[in-house]
């Protein structure tokens, strides 16, 4: 007789968005959400109002997006141990992004991935000294260099 298998809950991932002033963020976020969902991982987006609205307007029928939440609310829930995730992806193109990633590394038990892009990505990468998996490319308007790096890491297969 074969032992009963215990169903594992689906994996979850939090995508922490930065300021949406760099165009590749919205595109890469939708791409990553799609790949995670295809792999059976439930993605949750956390951003400020502008970053979240860019995504919602781009996906009106919610083919890709699932839950979307306010960034401050997500930080509060994780800090207060009311919620956590298996994976956390932080989008970084400025100093504030580094701060949010470091914060996630402390408050969450999730495997931390950082997506670094924009004009100053090399400087930013050097400032990230806390443990995380880095995916970086000099992508501003064209998301393909960053997509290529993400595909090589394939975090959805981890």
Under the binding rule (CB under 8 A), the answer on residue 45 touching another protein is no
3-state secondary structure 75-118: HHHHHCCCCCCCEEEEEECCHHHHHHHHHHHHHCCCEEEEEECC
Q: Which is nearer to another protein, 73 or 148 (CB)?
A: 73
Rounded CA separation 125/113 (Å): 12
Q: At what angle do helices 49-58 and 24-38 cross, to 10 degrees?
A: 60
CB 88 within 8 A of CB 97: no
* 34 touching another protein, by CB under 8 A: no
Among 56, 63, 66, 79, binds another protein (CB under 8 A): 79
Which is nearest to 65 in space by CA: 49, 98, 48, 43? 43
According to CB under 8 A, which one of 12, 13, 14, 18 is a site residue for another protein?
A: 18
Contact 44, 68 (CB under 8 A): yes
**Applying CB under 8 A, does 53 fall inside the site for another protein?**
no
Tokens for 76, please give them.
Answer: 């509060």
Query: What residues between 82 and 101 interact with another protein by CB under 8 A?
Result: 94-100
| Closest approach of another protein to the CB of residue 2, in Å | 44
Query: Between 19 and 133, whose beta carbon lies closer to another protein?
Result: 19
Which CB, 79 or 142, lies closer to another protein?
79
Exactly one of 36, 41, 45, 51 binds another protein (CB under 8 A); which one? Answer: 51
Question: What is the binding site for another protein (CB under 8 A)?
Answer: 17-19, 21, 47-48, 50-51, 71-73, 75-76, 78-79, 94-100, 102-103, 106-107, 130
């Amino acid at each position: 007789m074969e032992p009963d298998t215990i169903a594992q809950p689906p994996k979850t991932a939090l995508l922490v968005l930065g300021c949406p002033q760099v165009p590749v963020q919205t595109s890469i976020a939708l791409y990553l959400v799609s790949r995670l969902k295809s792999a059976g991982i439930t993605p949750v987006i956390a951003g400020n109002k502008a970053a979240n609205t860019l995504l919602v307007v781009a996906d009106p029928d919610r083919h890709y997006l699932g839950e979307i939440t306010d960034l401050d609310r997500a930080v509060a829930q994780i800090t207060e141990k009311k919620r956590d995730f298996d994976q956390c992806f932080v989008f970084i193109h400025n100093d504030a992004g580094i701060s949010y990633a470091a914060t996630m590394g402390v408050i969450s038990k999730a495997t931390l991935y950082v997506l670094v892009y924009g004009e100053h990505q090399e400087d930013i990468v050097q400032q990230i000294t806390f443990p995380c998996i880095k995916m970086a490319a000099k992508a501003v308007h064209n998301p393909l260099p960053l997509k290529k790096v993400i595909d090589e890491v394939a975090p959805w297969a981890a």
